[in-house]
Amino acid sequence: MSSRELSLIKTKVAGLHTRFNLSDPDSRREYFEAKAGSEIKELKEYFKNNSFIAYLLGKKNSGKGTYTKLMIEIFGKDKIGHISVGDIVRAAYADIKDEVKKQELVDYIHKNYRGYISVDQALDALVNKSQDKLLPTEFILTLVKKEIDKLERRSLFIDGFPRDLDQISYSLYFRALINYREDPDVFVTIDIPDSVIDERIKYRVVCPKCQTPRNIKLLATKKVGYDKEKDKYYLICDDPDCGGARMIGKEGDNLGIETVRKRLELDDELIKKVSSLHGIPQAQLRNALPVDRAAELVDDYEITPEFYYERAANNTVVVKEKSWTIKDNAGVESYSLMAPAVVVSMIKQLANILCPR
């Protein structure tokens, strides 16, 4: 069997015929119990006395944040923490504009930072005052450690590290560098076709009030409107506090994957490099599977649908669904999977790594 075959996700359970609504939290909880109940039980037992660090490695828009949120939903905020390196760096950039927060940050950095450029030079690089100084990895690790220090004992999902090829060696000794216990660590690599990322970018929209993201083609809201002047459908935010706000796209998103092409190529290199490492367990997630294998491997409600819209006689908008097929990077006709199905695979692999039978 080829490595391509080995990496395919199988979530179908013999004799299970319930159709779960993966958009509903209560139904989703029943789904996870039905699909991975024994592994969830094992991991909950593991979490009583242990934790781990998972490095999420995937292309931009591959779902790293979504998968982590679902893991937190299953196991609880007291057991799992999400560390987004990009968010931490952006928060530090915002903090230095506030004198009180800046002093707190500077004091922490002076106490914990070890590196080849001074703290002042690193701060200059952070605010782009010094164009010839890149933000050093040692400085980024100090910012990450500051964030981790706020957390109680939890397992960590690290999103955004390593980000460059020269940071891979740092990740091998990450626990020691941030003084974070002796628990296991694992790389979680995410395989996703470029065509999926392209559509996620092209059709994504956000609420201008709460910033909740959705996708006009792949993740519809409960209410949809129609702009007669522009002859376009639009999503209406589900949050009642937003007062029926019209969700909007970001400038440049219509260009799709081309806006992040260089970043995706580097992400590919990172994943290939990490896949060749020894001494650290790896879980491999796959977002898509061939159309001709779908019925054998997953239930139909686990496949990402494509939403389309029609206007009824009373001018209301009717939301409809159909199968969404894409070409994977090898040109194979494929389906993209809903996030919960990918998380089922992650739970099973983590249980196998952390709770060997």
Q: What is the CATH number of the domain that holds 256?
A: 3.40.50
pLDDT at 178: 56
Residue 256 is assigned to a structural domain of this protein? yes
| Number of structural domains in the chain | 1
pLDDT at 6: 43
Domain of residue 217: give its range. Answer: 28-79+154-355
Residue 14 is assigned to a structural domain of this protein? no
Rounded to two decimals, the pTM is 0.85
Residue 59 is assigned to a structural domain of this protein? yes
Kindly report the three-state secondary structure assignment for every residue of the chain. CCHHHHCCCCCCCCCCCCCCCCCCHHHHHHHHHHHHHHHHHHHHHHHCCCCCEEEEECCCCCCHHHHHHHHHHHHCCCCEEEEEHHHHHHHHHHHCCCHHHHHHHHHHHHHHCCCCCCHHHHHHHHCCCCCCCCCCHHHHHHHHHHHHHCCCCCEEEEECCCCCHHHHHHHHCHHHHCCCCCCCEEEEEEECCHHHHHHHHHCEEECCCCCCEEECCCECCCEEEEECCCCEEEEECCCHHHCCCECECCCCHHHHHHHHHHHHHHHHHHHHHHHCCCCCCEEEEECEEEHHHHHHHCCHHHECEEEEEEECCCCCEEEEEEECEEECCCCCEEEEECHHHHHHHHHHHHHHHHCCC
Residue 136 is assigned to a structural domain of this protein? no
Residue 40 is assigned to a structural domain of this protein? yes
Residue 245 is assigned to a structural domain of this protein? yes
pLDDT at 41: 97
Residue 102 is assigned to a structural domain of this protein? no
Ranges in the chain, pLDDT < 50: 1-6, 130-132
Residue 309 is assigned to a structural domain of this protein? yes
